[in-house]
Structure 1
Amino acid sequence: MSPLNHKLLRDLWRIKGQAGAIALVVAVGVSLLVMMSGMLSSLQDTRETYYERYRLAEVFAPVTRAPLNVLDQVAQISGVASVQGRITGGALVDMPGQALPVRASALSVPRYQASRLNDFYLKHGRALDPARTDEVIVLDSFAQAHDLQLDDTLSATMNGARRSFWIVGFAMAPEFLFTTAPGEFVPDDARFAVLWLNEDALAAAFDMKGAFNEALLSLERNAKPEAVLLAVDGVLDRFGGQGAYLRKDHMSDRFISEEISGLQATSVAVPPIFMGVAAFLLYIVITRMVQSEREQIGLIKAFGYSDFEVGYHYFKLVLVIAVAGAGLGCVLGLWGGRAMAGVYQSVYHFPFLVFHIEPAPLVSGVGVSVLAASAGGLFVLRRVFALTPAVAMRPPAPMDFSRSGAMNERLKSWLDQPSRMVVRRILRNPGRLFGAVLGVAVGMGLSSAQMSLMSGFDDTLDLTFGVIDRSDVSVSFFETMPAETVFDMKHLPGVVEVEPTRAVGAVLRNGRNSYRGTVSGLPANARLNRAVDKDMADIVMPETGIVLAKSLADILEIQPGEMLQVEVLQGRRPVLTVPVASIAETLLGSPSFMLMDSLNRELRERGQVSGVYLRVDSDQLPALYEALKAMPSVAGVTRREDARAAMQKLMDTGAGAMRYVMAAIAGIITFGIVYNAARIAFGEQARDLASLRVMGFTRGETAFVLLGELAVVVLLAIPLGVGIGYYLSFLIAAGFSTDLYQIPTTFRPDAFGIAALAVVLAALVSGWLVKRDIDRIDLVATLKTRE
């Protein structure tokens, strides 16, 4: 081993504390990159494999009722590879011991052939007997939520008639990765069921003999999707077509696509922050090492080593730390990716998970960490090349302190000797102080941004289910009902207040931008379900015009006052052109609102309602639920508390769970930065501290000289960290917000207070660890000149 490599090992052992802290920062960044990349590729590959294996349709075309021979016309459309019709219908499942009926979707299974499209994975049990109409296969996640077993009986109300079925199997399906009831945004395994029945049974229940009410299509490789949609709508319009749509607009696929998009945004934005912090710390370490070893550098060059050899020696120090951190990060990323993959598999109800990590994330993780570390080290190596042996072996010229005499005299009057030493060191090296302050502030900023994000998730729930939605129970109907229904609802047991609503499926277009969603009709002066502005004040519904959620306005790239095209997907399917009246702040979904009377007038359907919001006497809830069960027009009943609990579960899993991981990582980063700053200061001043001990300073006074500077760094870093964290919180919240929920970001004193407390605690622990080394310092060995 060459002498320089011997020196490299000694240097690494000497700065093992700083090197370990920096390697940990690098490891965190690489592990995030590897873990997120692995989860991202696993989700994408699993989704595509699942869709392909069970032939999920690429186009869905709901219709009121069409004869089966119409499918032949659809099959002739250019670009259509295959087509299949099926019967779908709503149902209410009466679960024993449960007050509320459970909303369900019933789907037909072809009698004598396997489904060409939208097949399902039979997890337990057997296939349906074609000769029987009283058998059912149930969605596995719903069965698990209610502990259902094979051969149990299930009672369901379909089209106003009560029917009983034998459960013969439990299934999973790619179109139900998220189990969300039609018209709702919050998935809940316990509150939504999917039932697969024989085609004859469902045809009899919904009067669909020889007909279908949904066409499923797969497309040829070079098909033009928009052209196919137009052609399908042209064929189905006269049978009550409700607008064909692509797979990407299916609620289940939209959920997982938003999750994947969130992971992509986070994997791109977050790891570079940690890489930048690591490069900055390495820059500080190597800079101070070169400053303290200038005499050794001169001596090495005097023995004949070239500038390149000496520079490469210090560069290898950077590489060893970076590669060690990257290697640890790859291992942690693989472990974390496998752990998170299991969480995603359960959340998205995949029957299998294609988990793998491509070599690219591992290579890029190591490469990026090395490049980031090299960027910090190369700036320092210029100083190594510039040092000639004669200059390097001379001690550096002392600083000019002639102008600080007056200040010293002032300091003597109110500071003791150790305090004056701390102040003078700070004033003589402002650049070094600024670097340490910036490093600690960045760590605190990361922590405070994560704390703000976690509070933002809670605010989304509080504002959605406390300020915007103030109802106790919401009721939806199978079809639109006359205005008299509101009067009937007022006479149900325990009902204190009734507020009607009208929901209409529509495609909203602004130029090339479009969004398939729902226009919600609200009554004037709505109280139970409101549209609010950014100050959470009521938005008065205009007589003409539409109110868009901010997230929807961003998707459509439209401002108040501009005209919006609304293609209604039901009834006469009119195309409306309405002005955008204002922008609403909604944190759940991307809804749009109109005055209910204006919406009904545009549709030429006076006084129609599709649901109601209820404020209820809590003591009368059981009686109310029994009354709602007996109403054949009721499609679903949702308690606000159940919806909130389901939304909380959604936010605590999947991408939402990453906020806990990132918060923990930010805490590790903060401690690593503070500890590294303390270790660097100790490495620099070890000889000076030993001299103070020899001169008669106590251990406490000696430690104060070193740790006093750390205290000043922390105090200056806290306000700067507040500013950095405030702006970082907007960036991170934007990465976690999706089309389905948005995370609000405001200044949160509690979040920044906790982050500041974490920095102080990290400083105290780091100070204790460094003070322990000060107390153990070998005065003779430290005061010797290192050869």
Structure 2
Amino acid sequence: MVSPLDRKLFRDLARIKGQAAAIGVVIALGVMMLVMMTGLVNTLDETRRAYYDRYRLADVFAPVTRAPERMADRIAALPGVAAVQSRVAGAALIDMAKGELPVRAQALSLPDIGLPRLNDIFLTSGRLPEPGRSDEIVLLEGFAKARGLKSGDKITATMNGAKRQFRITGFAQSPEFLYSTAPGEIVPDDARFAVFWMRRAALGAAYDMEGAFSEVLVALTRGTNPQSVISAADLLLAPYGAAGAYDLKDLFSNRFISEEIRGLRVSTASIPPIFLGVAAFLLYIVISRMVRAEREQIGLLKAFGYTSWEVSFHYLKLVLVIAVLGAIVGSIAGVAAGSSLAVVYQLYYKFPFLVFTIDPRSFVIGFGTSILTASVGSLFVLRGVFKLTPAVAMRPPTPPDYSRAFDLAGAMKRWLDQPARMVLRRISRYPGRMLGASVGIACGLGLSAATLTMMAGFDTTIDLSFTVLDRSDMTVVFTDKQPPKALLELGRMPGVLHVEPIRVASAVLRNGTYSYRGSIEGRPELPVLNRVIDTDFRQVPMRREGLILSQTLADILHVTPGDWIEAEIREGRRPVLRLPVIGTAQTLTGAPAYMELGALSRALQEPEQVSGAYLTIDANRTEQIFERIKGMPRIAGATLKEDARNALVEIMNTGPASVRFVMLAVAAVITFGIVYNAARIALAERMRDLASLRVMGFTSGETSFVLLGELGAVTLVALPLGSALGYGLTYLMVKGFSTDIYQIPAVFSPSSHGTAVLAVLVSAAISGWLVKRDLDRADLVEALKTRE
């Protein structure tokens, strides 16, 4: 049997259905974001773990120049090693159509019989190469799709200085190449980097590796410290040109997806609580108004024997119903949104399967947090229910004493008409309530402004990276270190206007327990084609006395200018250098360290050499330059800046970065919900007063002005507050989405804040129209009977 208080609960919900729906939507959005992001984190983590386990991705990678096969057995005997797989790996160039640059590729070996013990591949279609067939390959599926290749097609590749023709027998995906990019680059582009697999004997013959390997893969037993195995492997392989072993966390593909998971975790911990906090504030306003409006009813209930606990629990149940319904809707929407976005991640990272996982804790946290925040907001109001005795509650409340308050409306009587003075008088008499409504609207504005600013930050990253920093047209990478005269050969090519050298030395940079596997880039003293800038976008000259670190790298290593770091060079004689940090630079892609070209050569104790060059070219001679590059065996690859730019734009607008579009949609909905709820509360609080004005002869327009003028004033106050809040939230959101692959600058974007302000004003206009419509339809007699 339904109790009288429960019947009253249903009537109250029906009466405030508009406000309850608006608050429920805010709660639902907060829970949706929590469930969706938690589901994405768990799904990515579990899918990655399952993919790595199923296809036996190695724990340690140890590249060498050329090592005899017996060294693999010695590494297998090391403590903590569970399995070892040696393989041949080599760089290649795939010839494309005339007028196109050759595509950089990596060739990897498969055992002559069976499947590899480690780093197995997932064959999506076709078959593996037949043993003994040196002209058959399996191609990475992403590249094949980007280039429109089919099974049975033939491609020509330059390997170890010789051109060879291959027939594609199948396509594959690999856990090693979830995020595939050419060595030395950070932006993935399926169309500009390929991976193909051949049988071991065929690939070994192509690279003169019979009875030898160029990389050994190691799987570790549980609990083994990778660094101990890495140190031992480096010691064993040092005589064979070891480039330095590294563990799975430094595998570039794994590093990128790990950064994505980290960013989602930051967003999960920061964004949903803001939504739920706003919902708690709105519930506080609604319940406090209801308690004031139903003061007499509370007195009657207590007079009939209901205890303060029973009456208080009635209003608390009203809050809980709204919170629970919002949490249920948010949970369902979170599962739907999470599963949809998970498919996007699956396609972007090229997982062959998806382990969609929803952590039950996210539902518990979502329900618990929404109920807790909603209850906290109402408990402050329910304290007053306990204080009301039946005799006091059944009397009208003591009118507030405004005699000592400054009558701002009266002071401006000369300039304002009566309706305007009524608006101003209410604002001055209830400043706390008006400020609270402004704060609620400001929260919605801040979320929208921060999301839009972050999206503008993505555009800023593109513009600065490829306009201010990189002024070249093309980047050329050599197969190995070359003397400076190699630049003269490039410069003599018809159509090449300017050549600027670069020297990249692979290194592990350390500061105590902090380390980063990257490189030191040697640049001319004053680079022209690929500049280095500070936070004020001024060019930073290369100085000869030490390193200039990107701010991202300085943060990773926890160093500031004046500190010293250790650089373990991973090539040549592999010296260990101790270098001072002399400055930091603003970089938006990667986490590089810079050094003056000559100073780097002296530190490495080698004659001046270059790894590649930046070029500016005559656009009318592009095809001629491409054909000349194809015939230069010392060039490992070339990249057009426009291609790299388009690839980075695609990263930022699709795949993982598309989460920000979801956040923008959520911010827009929550902004409208907050503004509409503020308008509904204002109408509910003043319905009796507004009906009285109509009876006294005020026109519909004048009465509406009294209501909407208050909403307009509250909204105008919210605009600067929301803009300031959005500026602060931008830093929080930017931190979550930035990685060491690319960084988003936290800049003030006037257009973003202007768009967010416009959205709030449009929401206020629509909300004002809706409440005005309700006011015009109101039953004046019924409204006058209401005792506020």
TM surpasses 0.5? yes
**Residue 71 (structure 1) aligns with:** 72
CA distance in structure 2 between the aligned counterparts of 1:348 and 1:655, rounded to whole angstroms: 9
- Provide the secondary structure at the position in 2 that maps to 1:412: coil
Pair 1:406–1:746, CA change in 2 (3 A): closer
| Shift of residue 506, structure 1, vs aligned partner | 0.3
CA distance in structure 2 between the aligned counterparts of 1:53 and 1:786, rounded to whole angstroms: 70
Structural mapping, 1:2-81, within 5 Å? 2-81=3-82
CA distance in structure 2 between the aligned counterparts of 1:492 and 1:558, rounded to whole angstroms: 43
**In the alignment, is the contact (CA less than 8 A) between 1:655 and 1:736 conserved in 2?**
no
CA distance in structure 2 between the aligned counterparts of 1:113 and 1:334, rounded to whole angstroms: 41
2:785 matches 1:772? no
CA distance in structure 1 between the aligned counterparts of 2:563 and 2:280, rounded to whole angstroms: 48
**Residue 723 (structure 1) aligns with:** 724
Any idea what the Cα deviations from partners look like across 1:382-430, whole Å, max 9, x if unmatched? 0111111111111111122334686554332111111111111111111
Structural mapping, 1:647-662, within 5 Å? 647-662=648-663
CA distance in structure 1 between the aligned counterparts of 2:113 and 2:342, rounded to whole angstroms: 38
Any idea what the Cα deviations from partners look like across 1:26-71, whole Å, max 9, x if unmatched? 0000000000111111111100000000000000000010000111
Read off the aligned partner of 1:709 and give its amino acid letter. E
**Residue 616 (structure 2) aligns with:** 615
**In the alignment, is the contact (CA less than 8 A) between 1:83 and 1:217 conserved in 2?**
yes
Read off the aligned partner of 1:333 and give its amino acid letter. G
**In the alignment, is the contact (CA less than 8 A) between 2:99 and 2:623 conserved in 1?**
no
Pair 1:512–1:407, CA change in 2 (3 A): closer
CA distance in structure 2 between the aligned counterparts of 1:193 and 1:67, rounded to whole angstroms: 27
Any idea what the Cα deviations from partners look like across 1:99-158, whole Å, max 9, x if unmatched? 111110000111023200000000000111002100010000111111111110011011
Structural mapping, 1:294-309, within 5 Å? 294-309=295-310
**In the alignment, is the contact (CA less than 8 A) between 2:152 and 2:167 conserved in 1?**
yes
| Shift of residue 591, structure 1, vs aligned partner | 0.4
Name which of structure 1's ranges 93-102 and 671-680 shifts more when overlaid on structure 2: 93-102
**In the alignment, is the contact (CA less than 8 A) between 2:408 and 2:428 conserved in 1?**
no
**In the alignment, is the contact (CA less than 8 A) between 1:263 and 1:655 conserved in 2?**
no
Pair 1:525–1:396, CA change in 2 (3 A): same
| Shift of residue 97, structure 1, vs aligned partner | 5.2
Read off the aligned partner of 1:486 and give its amino acid letter. L
Query: Where does structure 1 lack aligned partners over 5 or more consecutive residues?
Result: none
CA distance in structure 1 between the aligned counterparts of 2:136 and 2:491, rounded to whole angstroms: 38
**Residue 371 (structure 2) aligns with:** 370
CA distance in structure 2 between the aligned counterparts of 1:224 and 1:755, rounded to whole angstroms: 50
2:535 matches 1:540? no
**Residue 427 (structure 2) aligns with:** 426
Name which of structure 1's ranges 599-608 and 748-757 shifts more when overlaid on structure 2: 599-608
| Shift of residue 98, structure 1, vs aligned partner | 5.6
CA distance in structure 2 between the aligned counterparts of 1:393 and 1:193, rounded to whole angstroms: 81
2:175 matches 1:186? no
Structural mapping, 1:506-655, within 5 Å? 506-655=507-656
Structural mapping, 1:185-264, within 5 Å? 185-264=186-265
Pair 1:138–1:408, CA change in 2 (3 A): closer
Read off the aligned partner of 1:140 and give its amino acid letter. E
Read off the aligned partner of 1:27 and give its amino acid letter. A
- Provide the secondary structure at the position in 1 that maps to 2:578: strand
| Shift of residue 604, structure 1, vs aligned partner | 2.4
- Provide the secondary structure at the position in 1 that maps to 2:214: strand
- Let me know the Cα RMSD of the aligned residues: 1.2
Read off the aligned partner of 1:198 and give its amino acid letter. R
**Residue 134 (structure 2) aligns with:** 133
| Shift of residue 605, structure 1, vs aligned partner | 2.2
Query: Where does structure 2 lack aligned partners over 5 or more consecutive residues?
Result: none
| Shift of residue 751, structure 1, vs aligned partner | 1.1
Read off the aligned partner of 1:438 and give its amino acid letter. V
| Shift of residue 360, structure 1, vs aligned partner | 1.4
Any idea what the Cα deviations from partners look like across 1:342-389, whole Å, max 9, x if unmatched? 100010000000112122111211111111111111111101111111
- Provide the secondary structure at the position in 2 that maps to 1:190: helix
**In the alignment, is the contact (CA less than 8 A) between 1:262 and 1:655 conserved in 2?**
no
Structural mapping, 1:78-89, within 5 Å? 78-89=79-90
**Residue 495 (structure 1) aligns with:** 496
**Percent of paired sites with the same residue:** 56
**In the alignment, is the contact (CA less than 8 A) between 1:545 and 1:580 conserved in 2?**
yes
**Residue 105 (structure 1) aligns with:** 106
CA distance in structure 1 between the aligned counterparts of 2:67 and 2:74, rounded to whole angstroms: 12
**In the alignment, is the contact (CA less than 8 A) between 1:521 and 1:593 conserved in 2?**
yes
Pair 1:116–1:98, CA change in 2 (3 A): farther
CA distance in structure 2 between the aligned counterparts of 1:557 and 1:586, rounded to whole angstroms: 17
**Residue 738 (structure 1) aligns with:** 739
Any idea what the Cα deviations from partners look like across 1:267-317, whole Å, max 9, x if unmatched? 111111111111111111111111111111111111111000000000000
CA distance in structure 2 between the aligned counterparts of 1:409 and 1:596, rounded to whole angstroms: 75
Pair 1:351–1:491, CA change in 2 (3 A): same
Structural mapping, 1:401-440, within 5 Å? 401-403=402-404, 407-440=408-441
Read off the aligned partner of 1:454 and give its amino acid letter. M
- Provide the secondary structure at the position in 2 that maps to 1:413: coil
CA distance in structure 2 between the aligned counterparts of 1:45 and 1:598, rounded to whole angstroms: 46
**Residue 756 (structure 1) aligns with:** 757
Name which of structure 1's ranges 742-751 and 118-127 shifts more when overlaid on structure 2: 742-751
- Provide the secondary structure at the position in 2 that maps to 1:60: strand
**Residue 293 (structure 1) aligns with:** 294
CA distance in structure 2 between the aligned counterparts of 1:402 and 1:624, rounded to whole angstroms: 86
**In the alignment, is the contact (CA less than 8 A) between 2:409 and 2:424 conserved in 1?**
no
CA distance in structure 2 between the aligned counterparts of 1:53 and 1:531, rounded to whole angstroms: 43
Read off the aligned partner of 1:253 and give its amino acid letter. N
Any idea what the Cα deviations from partners look like across 1:546-567, whole Å, max 9, x if unmatched? 1101010001011111111100
CA distance in structure 2 between the aligned counterparts of 1:269 and 1:326, rounded to whole angstroms: 18
- Provide the secondary structure at the position in 2 that maps to 1:402: coil
**In the alignment, is the contact (CA less than 8 A) between 2:80 and 2:221 conserved in 1?**
yes
**Residue 687 (structure 2) aligns with:** 686
| Shift of residue 175, structure 1, vs aligned partner | 0.2
**In the alignment, is the contact (CA less than 8 A) between 1:259 and 1:654 conserved in 2?**
no
Read off the aligned partner of 1:632 and give its amino acid letter. P
Any idea what the Cα deviations from partners look like across 1:721-760, whole Å, max 9, x if unmatched? 1111111111111111111111101221111111111110
| Shift of residue 663, structure 1, vs aligned partner | 1.1
Any idea what the Cα deviations from partners look like across 1:466-509, whole Å, max 9, x if unmatched? 11111100000111111100111101121110001001110001
Pair 1:163–1:583, CA change in 2 (3 A): same
TM-score, normalised relative to structure 1: 0.99
Any idea what the Cα deviations from partners look like across 1:214-259, whole Å, max 9, x if unmatched? 0100001121211111100000001111100001000000010001
**Residue 277 (structure 1) aligns with:** 278
CA distance in structure 2 between the aligned counterparts of 1:440 and 1:419, rounded to whole angstroms: 22
- Provide the secondary structure at the position in 2 that maps to 1:646: helix
TM-score, normalised relative to structure 2: 0.99
CA distance in structure 1 between the aligned counterparts of 2:608 and 2:555, rounded to whole angstroms: 32
**Residue 332 (structure 2) aligns with:** 331
- Provide the secondary structure at the position in 1 that maps to 2:116: coil
**Residue 457 (structure 1) aligns with:** 458
CA distance in structure 1 between the aligned counterparts of 2:306 and 2:411, rounded to whole angstroms: 49
